[in-house]
Amino acid sequence: MQLIIWKFSIGENGMNNNEDNAMYYLRDEVGNAVVDIGEKNENIVVVSANVMSSSRVSDSVKKFPNRAFNVGIAEQDMISFAAGLAKEDLIPYTFTMAPFMSMRACEQVRTDVAYNNLNVRMFASYAGVSGGISGATHWGIEDCSIMTGIAGMVVLEPCDPVQAKKMVEESVSYEGPIYMRIGVEPVKKFYDSDYDYKIGKADYITNGNDGAFICSGVVVKYAVEAAKKIKENYKKDIMVVDMHTIKPIDREAVLEAAKTGNVIVAQDHNIIGGLGSMVAMVLAENRVGVNFKILGVPDEFVTMGHAPFLYHKYGYDSDGLYLEMEKMISK
C-alpha cells in the first residue's frame, strides 16, 4: 500500500488548510448529496421511515416524486421494501435513526439485504450519543458492533462534509450493502473538493512517529485538536488516522499507526464491538505489541445529557484524548 500522508497544516494532497473555522452538519451534506445523485440516476430511490425532514431528503419528493417513499415509522417494512426494490435493479437509499436501523430492523437487514448481497444503502443518523437529550432510546451506541457482525456489510462513518458527499457518490457504483452512521453534532472541514476518497482506505490528517489516534466521525476533529496540543506542549508528532471505513478496516493503516508504539482508538460508540475492537483484532492477529487504549461510551447505559458534555464526561473529546496520549508519551 502506498501511504499518503495528508499535510493538514499546509493544505496539500486534498486537505483543507482549515483557515475556515465554519462548522457543518453531516445530515445536510448527505441528504443534499442523495438528492443530487437521484436527479442524475433514475435507478436511485429514496425510502424514509418518517424522517424525510430530519434526514434532509425532503427535496427528493419535489425532484423525483415517483422515486421517493415515506413508509412511516416502520423500519422493518422499509428495509424489506428496499430489498425488493434492489432485486429489481434499483438502488434504494434508506433513512432512519441508527438504533432503529440497526436494532429494530436487524433481521431484515441481515436476511433480506445482506444474505442476498443487495445494493441497499442504509443511512442512519443519531450515531453515538450525538442525539443528546433524546436519550438512550435514540442513541446509536451499539450499531457498529451489530452491523460489522453481518457478513458482507460495509460500515462507513464520515468526519467532514466533503467526505460525506464523496461517500454518497462512491456508494452508487459499489456492489453490496452499505451502512453509514451519521452523527448530528457539527463537524469541521478537513478535505478539499478534489480529495480522492476510497471505501476501505484510511486517510491521514496528520503524520507523526510518537503516537497515533485512530478515529472516525465527530471524534476526528477532537483528535486533531489533541494532536496539536501535544505538539505545542511536548514537541511530539502524533498521527491522526481517519478510519472512515470501519469495515472492511484498512489493516495496513492500523499496522502503520502501530509503528509509533502508542495507539489510542476513539469512536462515538460503545467501547465494546466498535472501531476499537476492529483495531484490536488487527493488532492481535499480527502479534503487534503497543501501548493501547480504546475510548468511547463505557459499557453501561450512560447519563442523559447534551453530546459535548457526554464526550467530555467519558473522555473522548479533545481534553480526554490529550490526557490519554500524554500518559503514553510520558512513560
**Residues 215-227: what's their mean pLDDT?**
97
Residue 99 and residue 78 in contact, taking contact as beta carbons nearer than 8 Å: no
Q: Domain tally for the chain?
A: 2
167 and 216 housed in the same domain: no
pLDDT at 40 over 70: yes
Pick from 254, 188, 189: nearest CA to 215: 254
324: domain CATH number is: 3.40.50.920
pLDDT at 329: 95
pLDDT at 151: 97
Tell me which amino acid residue 273 is.
G
pLDDT at 20: 61
256 and 212 housed in the same domain: yes
pLDDT at 243: 98
164: domain CATH number is: 3.40.50.970
178 and 294 housed in the same domain: no
Is residue 267 a part of any domain in this protein? yes
pLDDT at 32 over 60: yes
231 and 129 housed in the same domain: no
Q: What is the CA radius of gyration of the chain?
A: 19
pLDDT digits over 42-65, tens only? Answer: 999 999 999 888 888 888 988 999
Residue 48 and residue 55 in contact, taking contact as beta carbons nearer than 8 Å: yes
pLDDT at 9 over 50: no
Instruction: Report the distance separating Cα 166 and Cα 74, nearest Å.
Output: 29
pLDDT digits over 235-272, tens only? Answer: 999 999 999 999 999 999 999 999 999 999 999 999 99
